[in-house]
Amino acid sequence: MKALEEIVSLALSEDLGDSGDITSQAVIPAGTKGAAVIIAMEACTMSGMAAGAECCHQIDPNLTWLPLVEDSQTVPVGAQVARLEGEMRSILAAERTIINFISHLSGIATLTGRFNAAVEGNKVRIAATRKTSPGMRLLEKQAVADGGGETHRRGLYDALLIKDNHIAAAGSVAATVERARQALGDDMAIEVEVDTREQLEEVLESGAGRALLDNMSPDEVRACVRLAAGRLLIEVSGGINLANVRDYAEAGAQIISTGALTMSAPPIDFSLEITQ
């Protein structure tokens, strides 16, 4: 994947610069062979294994990356997740960048899994938003998927979401929805962000297929779900966290989207240890 190659290349270049790993070059003789394992220091859901493999390939095509687990797999404390074999200098040059990727991405996958566990028993989907680290969106969205969530829209280019500023520019909900329908046709799902029950009534009259209830309380969501009566899909977002996500699920939301999945996930602790 070209995007993965570019992201890994940038990450390696900021760590290695023009001179490479000067410490390893100074203390480890060229040609020294070795092996190492990467160990999960806490239980987690894995993500980022492809990034680990790409790091090894770009550092040294002869450096072998042996995955011992798969993305989306839950692993316990102490699990060996990958083995590296080859030039010792290459292993150490790749170490930090590999761990940075899998720590961050496994953190996202793990947090997504916790959100899913929090709403278990409800017919609701947990989704990511466009709140992602610049340049990392495809990997972070994949990490959400590895944790059992949905990527939702990847960007402004692949899904339509009419927000308050669009409505302000177009004049009304009805006018905005009609312009979108004329421009993109009936096959494109039209979603409109709403802040109040009154705005939802306008969306229902417009014939849009989805409503995003933004920054509403669970009670307000419940009232809007009753008003919609199944005529459109209800998504909620804004202020969602592990403490309240079940309340929103039980209020009747069909999709719960939250930037916390990608912006607030704590990294998972991994360690690389030389084995020979």
**Residues 82-88, mean pLDDT to the nearest whole number:** 98
pLDDT digits (tens, 9 = 90+) for 224-246: 999 999 999 999 999 999 999 99
Same domain membership, residue 138 and residue 48:
no
- Asked if pLDDT for residue 1 goes beyond 80, the answer is no
pLDDT band with cut points at 50, 70 and 90 for residue 147: very high
Structural domain boundaries, residue 252: 117-263
Query: What average pLDDT does range 43-53 have in this prediction?
Result: 98
Query: Closest by alpha carbon to 84, among 43, 45, 108, 49?
Result: 49
Taking alpha carbons only, the member of 19, 15, 11, 66 closest to residue 38 is 66
Q: How far apart are CA 257 and CA 212, in angstroms?
A: 9
**Do 247 and 226 reside in the same domain of the chain?**
yes
Catalytic residue among 96, 114, 179, 222: 96
**Around 182, how many Cα atoms within 13 Å sit in the side-chain half-sphere?**
6
CA-based nearest residue to 8, from 96, 122, 132, 74: 96
Distance CA 118, CA 183 (A): 39
123 assigned to active site: no
Report the CATH number at residue 37: 3.90.1170.20
pLDDT class of 79 with cuts at 50, 70, 90: very high
Computed over every residue of the chain, the mean pLDDT equals 95
- Give the integer Cα–Cα distance in Å for 22 and 121: 54
The model's pLDDT over 214-225, given as tens digits with 9 standing for 90+, comes to: 999 999 999 999
Q: Are residues 167 and 194 in the same domain?
A: yes
Q: Name the nearest CA neighbour of 197 among 163, 219, 223.
A: 223
Q: How confident is the model at residue 276 (pLDDT cuts 50, 70, 90)?
A: confident
Say yes or no: 55 and 180 in one domain.
no
pLDDT at 154: 87
Residue 33's Cβ-side half-sphere holds a number of Cα atoms within 13 Å equal to 4
Of 83, 114, 130, 131, catalytic? 131
* 36 three-state secondary structure: strand
Q: What is the pLDDT of residue 69?
A: 98
Domain count, the chain: 2
Same domain, 202 and 84: no
Say whether both 29 and 126 belong to one domain. Answer: no
Say whether 193 is catalytic: yes
Same domain, 89 and 149: no
Longest dimension (CA), the chain: 73
Report pLDDT digits (tens) over 88-115.
Answer: 999 999 999 999 999 999 999 999 999 9
Average pLDDT, integer, range 2-29 = 96
* pTM, to two decimals: 0.95
Residue 37 pLDDT: 98
Say if residue 147 is in the same domain as residue 245.
Answer: yes
Q: Which of 15, 150, 178, 214 is catalytic?
A: 214
CATH of the domain at 243: 3.20.20.70
Per the model's pLDDT, the better-predicted residue between 18 and 187 turns out to be 18
pLDDT score for 121: 95
d(CA 79, CA 179): 54
Domain match, 91 and 137 both: no
What is d(CA 179, CA 237) in angstroms, rounded to the nearest whole number? 25
- Annotated active-site residue 141? The verdict is no
pLDDT digits (tens, 9 = 90+) for 205-215: 998 999 999 99
Are residues 137 and 16 part of one domain?
no
- Has 96 been annotated as catalytic? yes
Q: Which of 191, 193, 202, 235 is catalytic?
A: 193
pLDDT-derived band at 158 (thresholds 50, 70, 90) equals confident
Q: Are residues 240 and 217 in the same domain?
A: yes
**C-alpha to C-alpha distance for 7 and 148, rounded to whole angstroms:** 23
Q: Which of 114, 154, 163, 179 is catalytic?
A: 163
Indicate whether 94 and 122 sit together in one domain.
no
